[in-house]
């Protein structure tokens, strides 16, 4: 395991372990979960996670029909939660609020990058969702059908997701920063007959031509029969007669009425597929369901971020990732909270855009990623200092380990030493926060602190023994939890193999991260132990980037690695062997970068591409990325006895 820990993180952890930041008095005094309750919940969650989650299921959401059994573990690892219960997450997120005073409360405040704003009360949100749901039904979408959604951060993305949930369709949101092949592959795997997209998206003052990308993707994956297009940027786009429809035109039709019956779903019915990168091969369609998922995200959000009626919550992620699914769309709405969403780049037109938004809208809680914090930190303290950030009461971080330096800057300059930093460790697969402080937890900079109540996490060695203090090991979850993924869409074997085979006898979930606990029991996440690379917090697989590279006619073979980077956490280095006689020009590296951008999207573009004659391989032909990584970082190459030549 030691291999995986870079020296830098090791030193950071050893130093930061000694520093404890007690929770501020004013937060502890009124927290949703008091220090005493926290102790009680932790105890209940450890001794009897099933009864712990059953209590939360009663408390956090409404059910049309109760469950017969809380957890069915008769066929592990295919666990089922709230067996027999009937519900619909869209009912809990939208419909039920209309019966209370919240019908007039703001559900969503939105600002576009050009500065335009839109706000939606729960009442208005419900109407928008219903109209969208009726349009989907009019297009023939039925329960269980998959609908792919590909757009920027605009309110229609939220409406589209909720509309699918409402009618029992399964959404598959593809991040708007992905490009042609990434989109095509996900459409194909999900077999979506309907694609919802937009003409374009605003980013740094420019238009990303989403519709063009969608057209090209659909050429490659012709299963799409209908495209619904939101007009966002207004530039000319191609519309295919009989296939493509403008949303605003559909909304004029009588079918788009403001009332739509909410489907009664089984707790275990699929809600969405979200693709994420694994160790090998194609991205995996992580499948989540209506029942357990809503219980998990509502509980974790309410407790970890202390959500109150009067809060203005800003999760600055993209709805296209799990963070956005759980904590922009479903979680805050289930709680009846007010959520803020911003379309564009943090530094457009100036590096204080985010701080202006916090001041202008009175944001009380900000949740973002270390890479964004480091990026904004670079511009200096003057930008945030010129803005009134006094509305903030809590801050959060997610996506990769936060280095203590960025943590302290966030704490001091943004939070003015008054706001606890909630460092949440979790994954697309886990659905909700797994290891996180509550506002009452004493913090250490760079540690996600302790498992959430009801979550049994540990760090273990190869044999499954718990590691001692400061010993690195595998991060595992030892008991199922309601918001866990249920399978990999269309590939149950891969679900078993990927997550449950390493510690099969014990029946533990393997997270794919290495971690350690310190002498006080604080968890420190170190990093991935597989071929997943975190670039600016985005999760990419070496295999996907490699296959984008070899899809270029000049490339015979490619190997990709992640290399630590000050700003982005990691960047991608690629090593390519060229095809003889393919006529690669002198600018081949640049051409390959453009190719990856076109196929996968900007986040997958290697920082460096090196043309090589051969790649280090084992005798069985497996690329030894470890050796490439050591070379790139100027470290000793370690044991080379398995190297082919
Ligand atoms: C991987 C999951 C779930 C939200 C976004 C990422 C890394 C996530 C932390 C954290 C250290 C973290 C892990 C994990 N990660 N949060 N607070 N500290 N590392 O979801 O794209 O599925 O990635 O992100 O490596 O396995 P994801």
Question: DSSP letters along 50-66, please?
Answer: HHHHHHHHHHH---SB-
Among residues 527, 54, 486, 84, the alpha carbon closest in space to that of 295 is found at 54
> To the nearest whole percent, how much of the chain has pLDDT over 90?
92
Q: Which residues contact 256 (CB under 8 A, 6 or more apart)?
A: 131, 134, 135, 138, 250
Whether the pLDDT of residue 281 is over 90: the answer is no
Confidence of residue 10 (pLDDT cuts 50, 70, 90): confident
Distance (angstroms) between ligand 1 centre and the Cα of 164 equals 27
Average pLDDT over residues 269-294: 93
pTM of the model: 0.97
Place 6 in a pLDDT band, splitting at 50, 70 and 90.
low
Which residue has the least CA distance to atom 1 on ligand 1?
A: 427
**535-546 tens-digit pLDDT:** 999 999 999 999
Residue nearest atom 12 of ligand 1, based on CA coordinates: 400
**How far, in Å, from the CA of 612 to the mean position of ligand 1?**
32
Ligand 1, pocket-test mutation among 399, 450, 477, 530, most atoms within 8 A of CB:
399
583 Cα: distance to centroid of ligand 1 (angstroms): 41
Q: Mean of the pLDDT values across residues 175-197?
A: 97
Atom of ligand 1 nearest to the CA of 448: 17
Q: Is the pLDDT of residue 3 over 70?
A: no
DSSP 21: B
Window from 116-130, 139-153, 182-196, 612-626 with minimum mean pLDDT: 612-626
Q: Average pLDDT, stretch 422-446?
A: 98
Instruction: Please check the confidence at residue 321 and state whether its pLDDT lies above 80.
Output: yes
If you average pLDDT over residues 184-192, what whole number do you get? 98
Q: Specify the pLDDT at position 5.
A: 52
Half-sphere exposure of 522 (CA within 13 A, CB side): 24
Partner residues linked to 564 by β-bridges: 570
- Mutational test site, ligand 1, from 406, 525, 526, 528, max ligand atoms within 8 Å of CB: 525
Q: Percentage of residues in the chain with pLDDT exceeding 70?
A: 99
Q: Is 60 exceeded by the pLDDT of residue 30? A: yes
Q: Give the sheet arrangement for strand 244-246, strand by strand.
A: 244-246, 226-230, 194-198, 146-150, 170-173, 270-276, 284-289, 487-488
* Separation CA 508–CA 343 (nearest Å): 39
Is the pLDDT reported for residue 616 higher than 60?
yes
592 pLDDT above the threshold of 90 = yes
Average pLDDT value for residue range 294-321: 97
In this prediction, residues 597-612 reach a mean pLDDT of 97
516-568 pLDDT, tens digit each:
999 999 999 999 999 899 999 999 999 999 999 999 999 999 999 999 999 99
pLDDT at 573: 97
DSSP string, 529-580: SSSEEEETTEEEEHHHHHHHHHTSTTEEEEEEEEEEETTTEEEEEEEEEEPT
Question: Above 50 in pLDDT, residue 2?
Answer: no
Which string of DSSP letters, residue by residue, matches 338-398?
A: EEEEE-S-TTSSSTTHHHHHHHHHT--EEEE-HHHHHHHHTT-SHHHHTS--TT--EEEE-
Is the pLDDT reported for residue 4 higher than 70?
no
Statement: residue 374 has pLDDT above 70: yes
Give the CA-trace dihedral at 479, 484, 486, 490, to 10 degrees: -130
Ligand 1 closest atom vs CA 429: 22
Contact 153, 325 (CB under 8 A): no
pLDDT at 47: 98
Q: Which residues contact 516 (CB under 8 A, 6 or more apart)?
A: 13, 459, 467, 469, 470, 471, 472, 473, 523, 524, 526
Q: Which of 322, 539, 562, 570 to mutate to test the pocket of ligand 1 (most atoms within 8 A of CB)?
A: 539
Ligand 1: residues within 6 Å at CB? 276, 322-323, 398-401, 423-428, 448, 511-513, 525, 528, 534, 539
Rounded to whole angstroms, the Cα distance separating 575 from 411 reads: 39
Higher pLDDT, 584 or 519: 519
Distance 419 CA to ligand 1 centre (A): 22
Backbone angles phi, psi at 496, to 5 degrees: -65, -50
Span from the CA of 405 to the centroid of ligand 1 (angstroms): 19
Distances (CA, A) of 606 to 424, 573, 596: 28, 5, 8
Across the chain, mean pLDDT equals 96
pLDDT bin (cut points 50, 70, 90) of residue 7 is confident
Query: Exposed (0-12), middle (13-18) or buried (19+): which is 119, by Cβ within 10 Å?
Result: middle
For residue 112, pLDDT over 70 is answered with: yes
Helices 180-190 and 588-599, packing angle to 10 deg: 30
């Amino acid at each position: 395991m030691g291999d995986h820990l870079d020296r830098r993180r090791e030193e950071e952890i050893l130093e930061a372990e000694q520093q404890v930041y007690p929770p501020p008095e004013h937060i502890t005094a009124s927290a949703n979960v008091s220090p005493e309750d926290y102790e009680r919940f932790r105890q209940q969650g450890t001794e009897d996670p099933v009864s712990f989650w059953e209590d939360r299921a009663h408390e956090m959401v409404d059910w049309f029909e109760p469950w017969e059994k809380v957890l069915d573990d008769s066929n592990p690892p295919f666990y089922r939660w709230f067996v027999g219960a009937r519900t619909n997450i869209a009912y809990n997120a939208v419909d039920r609020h209309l019966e209370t005073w919240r019908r007039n409360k703001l559900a969503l405040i939105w600002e576009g990058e050009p500065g335009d704003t839109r706000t939606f009360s729960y009442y208005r949100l419900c109407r928008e969702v219903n109209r969208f749901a009726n349009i989907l039904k009019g297009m023939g979408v039925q329960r269980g059908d998959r609908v792919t959604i590909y757009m920027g951060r605009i309110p229609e993305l939220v409406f589209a997701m909720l509309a699918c949930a409402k009618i029992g369709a399964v959404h598959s949101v593809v991040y708007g920063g992905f490009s042609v092949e990434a989109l095509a592959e996900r459409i194909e795997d999900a077999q979506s007959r309907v694609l919802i997209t937009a003409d374009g998206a605003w980013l740094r003052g420019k238009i990303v031509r989403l519709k063009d990308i969608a057209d090209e993707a659909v050429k490659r994956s012709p299963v799409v029969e209908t495209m619904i297009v939101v007009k966002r940027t207004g530039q000319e786009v191609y519309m295919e007669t009989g296939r493509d429809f403008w949303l605003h035109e559909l909304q004029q039709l009588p079918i788009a009425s403001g009332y739509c019956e909410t489907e009664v779903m089984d707790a275990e019915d699929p809600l969405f597929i979200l693709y994420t990168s694994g160790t090998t091969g194609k991205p995996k369609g992580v499948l989540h369901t209506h029942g357990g998922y809503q219980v998990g995200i509502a509980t974790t959000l309410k407790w970890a971020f202390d959500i109150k009626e009067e809060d203005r919550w800003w999760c600055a992620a993209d709805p296209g990732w799990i963070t956005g699914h759980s904590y922009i769309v479903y979680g805050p709405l289930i709680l009846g909270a007010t959520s803020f969403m911003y379309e564009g780049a943090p530094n457009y037109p100036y590096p204080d855009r985010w701080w202006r938004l916090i001041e202008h809208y009175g944001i009380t809680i900000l949740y973002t990623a270390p890479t964004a914090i480091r990026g904004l930190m670079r511009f200096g303290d003057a930008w945030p200092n010129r803005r009134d950030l006094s509305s903030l009461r809590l801050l959060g971080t997610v996506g990769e380990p936060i280095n203590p330096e960025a943590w302290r800057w966030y704490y001091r300059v943004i939070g003015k030493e008054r706001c606890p930093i909630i460092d949440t460790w979790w994954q697309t697969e886990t659905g909700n926060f797994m290891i996180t402080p509550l506002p009452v937890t004493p913090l250490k900079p760079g540690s996600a602190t302790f498992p959430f109540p009801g979550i049994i996490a540990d760090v273990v060695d190869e044999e499954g023994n718990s590691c001692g203090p400061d010993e690195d090991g595998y991060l595992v979850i030892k008991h199922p939890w309601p918001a866990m993924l249920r399978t990999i869409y269309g590939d149950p074997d891969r679900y078993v193999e990927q997550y449950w085979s390493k510690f099969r006898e014990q029946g533990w979930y393997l997270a794919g991260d290495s971690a350690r606990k310190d002498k006080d029991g604080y968890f420190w996440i170190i990093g991935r132990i597989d071929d997943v690379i975190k670039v600016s917090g985005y999760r990419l697989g070496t295999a996907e980037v490699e296959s984008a590279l070899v899809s270029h006619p000049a490339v015979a073979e490619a190997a990709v690695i992640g290399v630590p980077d000050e700003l982005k956490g990691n960047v991608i280095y690629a090593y390519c062997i060229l095809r003889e006689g393919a006529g690669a020009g002198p600018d081949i590296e640049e051409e390959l970068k453009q190719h990856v951008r076109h196929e996968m999207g900007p986040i997958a573009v290697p920082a460096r591409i090196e043309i090589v004659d051969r790649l280090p391989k084992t005798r069985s032909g497996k690329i030894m990325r470890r050796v490439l990584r050591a070379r790139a970082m100027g470290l000793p190459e370690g044991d080379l006895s398995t190297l082919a030549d």
